[in-house]
């Protein structure tokens, strides 16, 4: 079934305006959710809001929004004040600059949408898509929707345009905050790791080859329960012996490759490592004897 548009907008490309419709680019499957029930009679439980100070139940029409500016101190806003503060929705998708597509780190990617031209806008739409594809650039733009201003990236895809909502810089944690201990990586280990990467590489990404096996298993279990069957706990997997030696772990990983390929990759890497090892020096005694031997005239 064809997706339905979830919104509309107008791309501003110089003095060219391109009215478009927004379609969801993804259809994430909902996780298998379970409701909370009363164990005594199986009735569904309801969530209630209770005042932390006096324990009184609070209805929605008695609620206001508040911002905590100090510990346990709030400044409150009415619904009218919140509405006045929100960004006014606008159909404009205003392009502000063009950047190399590969320079936008995927960590900034948020929700994606496909864009389709409104009637009469197909030529301008295809012109922008073609210009982006040939230039290798993507268009950074601003979009105001749902009370917020979004930073978006327009990218060509299969002759069409994909609009990717982006996170702002202050919404992405710096990678330097992740603690990583110092460690020396040896060249032979790198070579074996590269061989392991090579033997399990593919020329393209095929997402259809993968599925959520946990979700599938849960749904199968639900079907068995509905049919009146009991669920048996799966036997615990035998723990795999931990390999402490990194070089040995890499060799064992390569050994799991198709016959012949792992041995070839392993011997190749070890041979390359051996070539880089400097030759051993002659023992000191032998060197001394050579020095004492009479020279031939």
Q: Cβ(221)–Cβ(231) under 8 Å?
A: yes
Q: How far apart are CA 212 and CA 249, in angstroms?
A: 28
Cα Rg, the chain, nearest whole Å:
32
CA angle, residues 220, 225, 231, in degrees to nearest 5: 80
Question: What is the full per-residue pLDDT of the chain (297 aa) written as tens digits?
Answer: 577 898 899 999 888 999 999 999 987 666 677 888 988 898 998 888 999 888 899 988 888 888 898 998 999 888 888 877 765 667 889 999 999 989 999 999 999 999 999 999 999 999 999 999 999 999 999 998 877 889 999 999 999 999 999 999 999 999 999 999 999 999 999 999 999 888 888 888 888 887 878 888 888 888 887 888 777 766 766 666 665 687 888 888 888 755 444 444 445 545 554 454 444 444 444 444 444 444 444
Q: How far is CA 187 from CA 42, 168, 193, 247, 255, in A?
A: 62, 38, 10, 11, 20
Predicted TM-score (pTM) of the model is 0.65
> What are the extents of the domains in the chain?
7-26+88-170, 186-195+250-275
End-to-end CA distance of the chain: 98
How many C-alpha atoms does 129 have within 13 Å on its Cβ side?
A: 20
Q: CA 117, CA 10: separation in Å to the nearest integer? A: 9
Q: What class, spelled out in words, does domain 7-26+88-170 have in CATH?
A: mainly beta
């Amino acid at each position: 079934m064809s997706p339905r548009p979830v919104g509309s907008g107008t791309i501003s490309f110089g003095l060219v305006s391109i009215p478009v419709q927004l379609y969801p680019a993804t259809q994430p499957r909902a996780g298998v959710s379970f409701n909370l029930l009363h164990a005594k009679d199986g009735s569904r439980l309801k969530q209630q809001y209770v005042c932390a100070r006096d324990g009184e139940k609070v209805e929605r029409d008695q609620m206001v929004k508040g911002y905590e500016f100090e510990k346990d101190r709030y400044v409150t806003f009415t619904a009218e004040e919140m509405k006045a503060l929100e960004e006014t929705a606008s159909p404009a998708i205003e392009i502000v600059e063009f950047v190399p597509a590969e320079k936008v780190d995927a960590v900034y990617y948020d929700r994606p949408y496909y864009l389709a031209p409104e009637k009469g806008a197909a030529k301008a739409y295809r012109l922008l898509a073609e210009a982006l594809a040939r230039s290798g650039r993507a268009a950074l733009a601003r979009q105001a929707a749902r009370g917020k201003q979004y930073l978006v990236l327009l990218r060509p895809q299969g002759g069409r345009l994909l609009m990717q909502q982006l996170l702002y810089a202050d919404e992405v944690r710096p990678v330097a905050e992740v603690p990583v201990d110092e460690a020396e990586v040896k060249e032979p280990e790198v070579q074996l790791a590269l061989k392991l990467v090579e033997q399990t590489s593919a020329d393209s990404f095929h997402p259809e080859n993968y599925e959520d096996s946990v979700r599938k298993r849960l749904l199968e279990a639900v079907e068995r329960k509905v049919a009146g069957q009991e669920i048996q706990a799966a036997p615990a997997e035998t723990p795999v012996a931990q390999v402490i030696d990194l070089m040995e772990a890499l060799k064992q990983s390569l050994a799991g490759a198709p016959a012949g390929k792992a041995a070839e990759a392993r011997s190749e890497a070890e041979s390359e490592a051996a070539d880089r090892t400097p030759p051993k020096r002659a023992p000191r005694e032998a060197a001394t004897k050579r020095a004492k031997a009479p020279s031939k005239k």
